[in-house]
Amino acid sequence: MAMTGDPCDCDVLVVGGGNAALCAAIAARRAGAAVLLLEAAPKALRGGNARHSRNMRVMHDAPTPWVRGRYPADDYLADLRRVAGDTDHAVARLFVDASADIVDWLAGNGVRFQSCADEVLPYSRKTAFFLGGGKALVNALYATAERLGVAIRYDSDVRALHLRDGPPAVTVGEPGVTVRARALVVASGGFQADAGWLRREWGEAADRFSIRGTPHATGVPLKALLAEGAEPVGAADRCHMVAVDGRAPRVDGGIVTRLDGIAHGIVVDRDGRRFADEGAVVGPSRYTAWGEMVARCPGAVAFSVFDAAIKTRFRPSIFPAIRADGIGELAAALGISPPALEATVAGFNAAITGGGGTAGGDPPKTRLAEPILVPPFGAYPVRAGVTSTCLGVRVDGRARVLRRDGTALDGVHAAGVVMAPNILGCGYLAGSAMTVGAVFGRIAGREAAAYALR
């Protein structure tokens, strides 16, 4: 399918190359539309953040081959309300109900899931795991899209959207080629890879953030939709972020850069002071809780400190710990004033009680408090690792992009992170972003095809 600039180059144009975009392209193609997918990344890096994923959260009323137990809709919705705050309740309900068969739909399109009976992965009644991880999911969906006849163009970064005076169109690349379609699906993620935009929202701290996923999530299509009058949802100054090793790559580090042991030792800022209760959150949400706290630290950097006994109680970082035989020497290696860190560790040790917490310390540690006494002492530098930003556009249950007055932009649909705040607000619910992408990708593709072929 050539990008000719003719009245319409395709029926449905999909902007993006990750999970949501692929589900949209496949759904539109299965509905009979001629589909063109534009992926900004080169083929070797295709797939967006989905390459780094591993599971998806799905509703089910009975055990399945991939998920144990039951996770009814009311439980899913309660979890969403707990983390998401102000969301579109109708869209959230539709999403939860539609998640019930999304695993079967993906399996029918080539994606393989880990059996819940082999006990290779931790028990979960809420999430199904991809066999081979996110890269295997991405490769399977691309193979299906190609087999169905979806035209795919790599290295095709969208520079502008044109949504007035005729069918939707986009400008691709530099100096720019115009691609026209009868309907458009925007599934290009957030703007976390736009350093300038991130800095405007977070200040100089943004320069120290690690972008965990694709460097191609620059937010150009999102900005264009907002400029065309789409109603914003979520917040530009919030991100989904986790605590990662401070030596992680600037971009594309993925899930393996997360730090697991923060709750077990102590965490100090660049001045050697503790600033939060390390034992307050010990479940899966511990990663996200510490991501934002570190992002708001002086210099957006912190240090996880432990001793030889504590380090045996958690999974190590993929980078070696910084070690020293004394606390003062460790502080010097970290660039912290040795007397400051020595005073912090001594005060923490003195405040530990017999109940696993501390008394008299500020802040207290409520759980997992153990003295830091056994050399060699170790530390990991900690930074905020951004998964995605939390600004999106309003959609309805048909994935149509809505203006502030509630009317739809003609022929324009959205899926994935670019509309996820309708459901997740600025909160994080493990495995749900991949489900949002698949569920609304399928809806957006189907509805865009119906619009194009009507």
Q: Is the pLDDT of residue 7 over 90?
A: no
Q: In terms of domains, do 129 and 79 share one?
A: yes
- Number of folded domains that form the chain: 2
Q: Token pair of 441, please?
A: 């990708």
The 10s digit of each residue's pLDDT in 95-116 is 999 999 999 999 999 999 999 8
Q: What pLDDT score does 191 carry?
A: 98
Tell whether the torsion through CA atoms of 340, 343, 346 and 350 is positive or negative: negative
Report how many helices (DSSP H) and strands (DSSP E) the chain contains, helices first: 12, 16
Report the DSSP pairing between strands 169-172 and 408-414: unpaired
Q: What pLDDT score does 297 carry?
A: 93
Averaged pLDDT, 60-80: 94
Amino acid at 5: G
192 located within any domain: yes
Q: What pLDDT score does 289 carry?
A: 86
Q: In terms of domains, do 128 and 156 share one?
A: yes
Q: In terms of domains, do 227 and 278 share one?
A: no
Q: In terms of domains, do 165 and 272 share one?
A: no
Q: In terms of domains, do 264 and 306 share one?
A: yes
Q: What pLDDT score does 122 carry?
A: 73
Q: Is the pLDDT of residue 1 over 70?
A: no
The 10s digit of each residue's pLDDT in 280-300 is 988 777 778 899 999 999 999
Q: In terms of domains, do 114 and 24 share one?
A: yes
**Which H helix or E strand runs over 386?**
strand 377-393
Closest by CA to 114, choosing from 101, 105, 127, 96, is 127
275: domain CATH number?
3.90.700.10
The 10s digit of each residue's pLDDT in 322-377 is 999 999 999 999 999 999 999 999 999 999 998 889 998 889 999 999 999 999 99
The 10s digit of each residue's pLDDT in 257-270 is 999 999 999 999 99
Q: In terms of domains, do 366 and 443 share one?
A: no
Q: In terms of domains, do 178 and 231 share one?
A: yes
Query: What is the rounded distance in angstroms from the CA atom of residue 276 to the CA atom of residue 427?
Result: 20
Q: What pLDDT score does 454 carry?
A: 87
Q: In terms of domains, do 405 and 266 share one?
A: no
Q: Which domain holds residue 103?
A: 10-239+389-452
432: domain CATH number?
3.50.50.60
Q: What pLDDT score does 211 carry?
A: 97
**Across the strands, what pairs with 391?**
234
Q: What pLDDT score does 130 carry?
A: 96
427 located within any domain: yes
Give me the half-sphere count of Cα atoms (radius 13 Å) on the Cβ side of residue 131: 14
Q: In terms of domains, do 145 and 270 share one?
A: no
Q: In terms of domains, do 274 and 181 share one?
A: no
Q: What pLDDT score does 285 carry?
A: 74
Q: In terms of domains, do 303 and 173 share one?
A: no
Averaged pLDDT, 310-318: 95
